[in-house]
């Protein structure tokens, strides 16, 4: 059987990167570990390049992934690295990750980027609700979903809003999900560094210099990229306007807080409030 870096399949390989590095802070038993063992943690927001960051930093930091309550982190001595991405681009990427996982069977479970979704379903712990699965049958592109957020068809708008609000993989779990709608960012001296997915290489090197870590981006061997298969990236003006309205007090408020607390510059703030993809 084909293998990835000596692992039987892509899920096993992915877990080798993440399982031992993950801080399950919702479990009180890990408090001591968080306080005394982990000096620097990584807030891994889905579809923001976090797996790539962990490939380079897994021996240096531990990660938070699928943990949506920053209040649980505030009392720990851990300081944090955060990686973010343009919310519109992240939305498109997250849509296709779930859409492919639900609609396109993996021919090779070793190298298929969305194999974790299908393995979870097979093993009895599906990452999407039946309603969300149905949504990925109805909406065939991220543009169709976003244009339906305020559709006059109440059933359609409720379905679209549900898919961007409730559980199930990365689509509803963006910057606001992990950073508490920006509240966690305000006056938080425990955030050491915020990196951008768009500036991955540059920011990895900046972090190396900041912390004095012995990292080598150019020469680090990466045999497998878990980059999702992304389809149509187009978002209409209507879709962008709908997302801005829907995210006013969540994603875009979080971006605003990142700017006002000096974690991103003004140009990034502007970039993160729009979507530049052109057909």
pLDDT of residue 88: 97
pLDDT of residue 8: 61
pLDDT of residue 1: 39
pLDDT tens by residue, 158-202: 999 999 998 667 898 899 988 889 988 887 788 999 999 999 999
The residue among 24 and 199 whose pLDDT is bigger is 199
Tell which phi-psi region holds residue 190, choosing left (phi > 0), alpha (psi between -120 and 50) or beta: alpha
> For the chain, how far is it from start to end, CA to CA, in angstroms?
40
pLDDT of residue 229: 66
pLDDT tens by residue, 38-72: 578 888 899 999 988 888 776 777 777 766 455 66
pLDDT tens by residue, 214-267: 654 444 444 344 555 667 899 999 999 999 999 999 999 999 999 999 999 999
* 94: helix, strand or coil: helix
pLDDT of residue 119: 80
User: Is pLDDT above 60 for 278?
Assistant: no
- The span from the CA of 37 to the CA of 47, in Å, is 27
The residue among 84 and 124 whose pLDDT is bigger is 84
pLDDT tens by residue, 126-167: 778 888 889 999 999 999 999 999 999 999 999 999 999 986
Residue 50, Cβ density class (10 Å: 0-12 exposed, 13-18 middle, ≥19 buried): buried
Residue 91 neighbours by CB distance under 10 Å? 26
Residue-averaged pLDDT of the chain: 79
pLDDT of residue 60: 73
The residue among 198 and 107 whose pLDDT is bigger is 198
**Whether 223 contacts 4, CB under 8 Å:** yes
What is the DSSP code (8-state) at residue 42? Answer: E
Q: What are 252's two structure tokens?
A: 């875009």
The residue among 8 and 113 whose pLDDT is bigger is 113
Residue 98, Cβ density class (10 Å: 0-12 exposed, 13-18 middle, ≥19 buried): buried
* 190: helix, strand or coil: coil
Q: Delineate the domains of the chain, giving CATH numbers in brackets.
A: 1-91+170-279 (3.40.50)
Provide the whole-model pTM: 0.81
pLDDT of residue 12: 58
pLDDT of residue 57: 76
- The span from the CA of 11 to the CA of 113, in Å, is 9
């Amino acid at each position: 059987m084909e293998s990835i870096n000596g692992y039987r399949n892509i899920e096993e390989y992915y877990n080798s990167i993440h399982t031992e590095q993950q801080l399950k802070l919702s479990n009180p038993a890990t408090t001591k570990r968080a306080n005394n063992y982990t000096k620097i943690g990584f807030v891994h927001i889905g579809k923001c390049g976090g797996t790539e960051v962990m490939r380079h930093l897994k021996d240096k930091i531990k990660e938070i992934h699928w943990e949506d309550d920053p209040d649980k982190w505030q009392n720990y001595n851990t300081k944090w690295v955060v990686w973010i991405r343009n919310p519109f681009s992240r939305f498109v990427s997250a849509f296709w990750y779930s859409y492919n996982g639900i609609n396109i069977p993996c021919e090779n479970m070793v190298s298929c980027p969305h194999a974790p979704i299908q393995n979870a379903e097979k093993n009895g712990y599906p990452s999407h609700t039946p309603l969300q699965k149905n949504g990925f049958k109805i909406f065939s592109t991220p543009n169709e979903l976003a244009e339906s957020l305020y559709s006059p068809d109440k059933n359609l708008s409720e379905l679209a809003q549900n898919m961007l609000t409730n559980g199930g993989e990365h689509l509803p779990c963006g910057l606001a999900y992990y950073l508490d709608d920006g509240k966690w960012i305000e006056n938080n001296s425990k955030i050491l560094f915020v990196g951008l997915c768009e500036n991955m290489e540059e920011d990895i090197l900046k972090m190396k210099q900041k912390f004095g870590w012995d990292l080598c981006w150019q020469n680090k061997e990466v045999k497998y990229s878990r980059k999702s298969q992304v389809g149509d990236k187009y978002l209409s003006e209507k879709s962008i306007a709908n997302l801005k309205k829907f995210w006013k007090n969540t994603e875009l408020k979080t971006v605003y807080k990142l700017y006002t607390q000096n974690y991103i510059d003004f140009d990034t703030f502007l970039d993160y409030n729009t979507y530049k993809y052109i057909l």
